[in-house]
Amino acid sequence: MLVQPTKINAWVKGCIIFLLISLPLWLSKHNPYTFLPDTVFTTITGQKVALKDLHGKPAIITFWATTCPSCVKEIPHLIELHEKFHPQGIEIIAIAMNYDPPNRVVNMTQERKLPYHVVLDITGNYAKAFGHVWATPTTLLINGNGDVSKRILGPFNLKDVESRIEHLLQVKTAFFRSIKKNTG
């Protein structure tokens, strides 16, 4: 009995579609985060930002590209998050992917007056270190202990991220109150 080519083609197409959908989801759930607390970012303005200096403070790390429509759409949300939470200690670090031309990143940063840290990942090492980031936008919420509390692949929901940040800030405040209470 011979199998008809159209049935094989449909089966192969189905397998390819399944792999294309499931592989990124599996990678986003099972990829270890190998970044080290001594990771130091150099921003496009030359400022050094060390993860260890953020210890005790939640942070947002977002991987983006100037050619990514969803990333550009998120910029006003990131500015809003920065304005709302930076006074409470939240740092935002936007890491431009290695394929993004540096002059485009600098121009967009200046044109849109981005108030948060912008970093170029020229070698792709940051993308590797933070779980082999390959899609943009990818946003990581880092808790006060330096652990990834949430990884968001694709555009984020502003209200959800605000809620998560507020929770991280409450945890941070409660932690420092307990230290103060136990030492004072």
Q: What is the pLDDT of residue 83?
A: 97
Percent of the chain's residues with pLDDT above 70: 77
Distance CA 22, CA 28 (A): 10
- What is the distance, to the nearest Å, from the Cα of residue 71 to the centroid of all Cα atoms in its chain? 11
Using one digit for the tens of pLDDT, what is the confidence trace for 55-104? Answer: 788 999 999 999 999 999 999 999 999 999 999 999 999 999 999 999 99
Q: Region 40-69: what's the mean pLDDT?
A: 92
**Residues 41 and 49 sit within 8 Å (Cβ to Cβ):** yes
pLDDT band at 127 (very low <50, low <70, confident <90, very high): very high
Whole-model pTM? 0.76
pLDDT band at 178 (very low <50, low <70, confident <90, very high): very low
Residue 14 has pLDDT above 80, yes or no: no
| H-assigned helices in the chain | 5-30, 69-85, 102-111, 125-129, 158-183
Q: What is the pLDDT of residue 31?
A: 46
Pair of tokens at residue 60: 């947002």
> Which segment, 47-51, 94-98, 178-182, is predicted with the most confidence on average?
94-98
Domains of the chain in sequence order:
42-183 (3.40.30.10)
Which amino acid would we find at residue 111?
E
Q: What is the pLDDT of residue 147?
A: 84
Q: What is the pLDDT of residue 6?
A: 59
Q: Where does residue 132 fall: left (phi above 0), alpha (psi -120 to 50 degrees), or beta otherwise?
A: left
- Alpha-carbon dihedral sign for residues 91, 171, 56, 98: negative
